[in-house]
Amino acid sequence: MVNVKMKSNHKSRFGLKSKLMGICFSVDGDKIPQEQRQLSSKGNQGHVYDQSPSGPTEPELVETKRATSMPSVPKNVTDLRNSPGYGNVDIFTYEEMKLATKQFRPDYILGEGGFGVVYKGVIDESVRTLYKTTYVAIKELNPDGLQGDREWLAEVNYLGQLSHPNLVKLIGYCCEDEHRLLVYEYMASGSLEKHLFRRVGCTLTWSKRMKIALDAAKGLAFLHGAERSIIYRDFKTSNILLDSDFNAKLSDFGLAKDGPMGDQTHVSTRVMGTYGYAAPEYVMTGHLTARSDIYGFGVVLLELLLGRRALDKSRPSREHNLVEWARPLLNHNKKVLRILDPRMEGQYSSRTAMKVANLAYQCLSQNPKGRPLMNQVVELLESVQSKDEEAVFETTGRDSQNKYAAEASPSHLIS
């Protein structure tokens, strides 16, 4: 039994500081009548709610795999405690977690959301003997929050088995008494959301945005291409994390789900995700496919192109929902160029921008079958990146030639 003091401490750490953008929802699509499936917009953007009835840097050189070290995947916390664990994931004690975060110091907080608080931490010899110094992000489940053991266990199971340069690495977890913590590699540059929508300071360049889009697309393509496809289900800017070199990785696998098998066309499930990013057919029916993720990718690609949030009530009413406002403009060349983020002006060719805008248009198709597959998205973005690199090389070459010509000119020699 948890004593009153301990519960009070939890509440003091898990205050109302949620900073996640986008509104998370959960609807039991198979059980709730159509008239009750209306998504709430109550509260500030970023608040989580539940409407269910029950309340290495070179990708080519890094091995990508799905581990098979465990005889069976744990179905609950008891199974996990009785299992040998995943060979590449460490199991920590709660005392070690307190040492790594200096007793969960408030100034170590990196962020907070529906799951709980994320702390920066260091695991070294003072935490565990002979442990190589490792900077980490430690996410602690809020016992009074909207996510619980099921989502926490999903993260352990998926990231314990998966390895890819564009998925955040799970270093370990703690499952002691009522405590549930996840230990990830530390992503020094934070989330894409933070950089894309910042009001002051450096803005993301066109080339960085396209590199981030490509990295994220590779992560999704890896999930969709697994022996049994994995549907990520919560693709959004706050779940795309950036390392010190701005390499992008997908994080937060709490809502991930195995895709359909055999003759199945979809998975029927509770509708969960983030309002503004979830595919319309999934919200309406609860039928989940890999193409649901592709719609979410299209929303993020649109945010990257325009520098606007998926939902923004501060804009004129017809522009509140980014997809509803912008998608009809994406296949009109002149209109597209007028709505692109002005902070990127002069950093791209019109042809390349229109090519990426058309990709976003396809990803956001109301018809799931009209959306491209993720490996096709990767191919197109790779071609965009190679063209950008060629343009930079040509520009650099011309600058060097002009400089050489100026230095070798008679006027320069005379002066």
Alpha carbon distance 299, 292 (integer Å): 11
Identify whether 234 is a catalytic site residue.
yes
From 28, 50, 215, 234, the catalytic residue? 234
Q: Can you give the C-alpha Rg of the chain in angstroms? A: 23
Alpha carbon distance 391, 395 (integer Å): 6
CB 313 within 8 A of CB 45: yes
H/E/C letters for each residue in the chain? CCCHHHHHHHHHHCCCCCCCCCEEEEECCCCCCHHHCCCCCCCCCCCCCCCCCCCCCCHHHCCCEECCCCCCCCCCHHHHHHCCCCCCCEECCHHHHHHHCCCCCHHHEEEECCCEEEEEEEECCCCCCCCCCEEEEEEEECCCCCCCHHHHHHHHHHHHHEECCCECCEEEEEEECCEEEEEEECCCCEEHHHHHCCCCCCCCCHHHHHHHHHHHHHHHHHHHCCCCCEECCCCCHHHEEECCCCCEEECCCCCCEECCCCCCCCEECCEEEEECCCCHHHHHHCEECHHHHHHHHHHHHHHHHHCCCCECCCCCHHHCEHHHHHHHHCCCHHHHHHHCCHHHCCCCCHHHHHHHHHHHHHHCCCCHHHCCCHHHHHHHHHHHHHHHHHHHHHHHHHHHHHHHHHHHCHHHHHC
**Which sequence positions are flagged as catalytic?**
234
